[in-house]
Structure 1
């Protein structure tokens, strides 16, 4: 008998081995009902293995996977309340849109009535805004439309969980941005749990309400997009999620002062995870203020611009500071005092609020 659960998905001490290779190690994870979870990490981190264990394509070597409070170990994929949208959609080219969406319903036992199949297919196509495309052939559809056909085919069976294996990877940037919004909207309308696998940080942060950052088969941080970006748990997360500048430093005995490599000192702020010894200061590019003039009210470092990337409303600068190394700085043009862009070769001053920096032990450097 299924037990009541507030979670759609649970991993309890899950480990997966492929012979001598350990893909994931001791994963504990709870995904609430109706959540949009992104499994984020570099290639080989274990995120796809976790997705496949939810879907039933792989079984855990140790531990337990539960869906809606029911243990899924040993339960085949076709008996799980889960559907999956693959990266390349896996649509049937010889079927039209309606036939593709109806295929899974026609395999159900006991059989559904033809009228029920027709009603549910029509409903699914309307949900993904393809109501007028039922008779269209797959090769006549754009990439974004094909993705929506794959989504309709996945949701028509009314799964408890929808798995998305990098479904936007084949789309161009503009279409990918549009589909991110559509997926968020669809998830809210359906109210079912989505699990997205991606190595794209922007995709994870913009779409999910829970982000699970993984590395080497382990969870490094689990939290909201804002928590993961603004309060990274360790140096790996700070480096992998977004862009980060690293500055070598030493935490002095008072636990409140950082001595930088050029001999200057700054306050440690309130985000230090090391009490003394060798440290790494991690600072986001957008947290650094770039100016041609030295500000009198903030500690600043003089450097020289080596490269500039124009991004429209903002610009990215590579700045070399003697004794400290290279910095990446994102400057919002609308907030700069200067109306023109800084040119490569110009001398500039960099400053930042110590409270915006994170301080980690140097031994944790990835």
Structure 2
């Protein structure tokens, strides 16, 4: 029997999913990275020390079975570099890390091809090029790499090998809803499905998914060449207060007010049972509380009014569609939910 929860980003990534997964993972048997690649960067604080993971699931910090799923793409040297960094912390990676044999490999060729990309503003980690080979059916998979043999599993077989045993699985997403390959913002997207569809494609039946944690921030950020940040010093102030730099590339993120309409749409489509809105403290630092609703900018006199409005709009949107509305949680702490 499988009991599953999933953590997914409702915006453009960079919404502190890593923190959420880290705080939940200790309660699960398995953490499954169900999408993404080393272009992701999940920031967590373990024993009060900051760490950034890229492809290895966050469950590794809790000595949990940590699986890189079949929808993921990875570069072998980068994977072993990440393993070495974690082993310096006395974390037992080798005993707990598993890789589905179907995960695709980012090769040196892919990295070279991506090294001068400027049109989309990618992380230049070879993800698009790897995806191209995958769908052309000429790609290299984890099963083709001898160095990975000790880690290889078939997720489906692994999950169902002992059908009488209850397995609790936490699915860790990457990037965000509006960066998935079929997003309305195409072509300014990632090169894979990073929605909850990749959970099912990893061997998790839909009926076993009991909780879905949708993650956002109190404001929006985006990294890439698409024009995203409006004119105004306030947005640079938000970026400075929020330390808005990419965990993987170090690039400064563009900032804007939270688009509540888009957040609600993503939450509805994703079937969220909990919505976690991080970095409330950043807006408190800048002292301005605004968001986008019905395509207009709405301003509030206090952070409490800001939070109350968001909660009400989410509840209304869900109940109008006869859905159970999610619990909305506002976080002002980089360490905990």
| TM-score under structure 2 length normalisation | 0.28
Is the helix fraction higher in 1 or 2? Answer: 2
Larger radius of gyration: 1
Name which structure has the greater RCO, CA cutoff 8 Å, separation 6+. Answer: 2
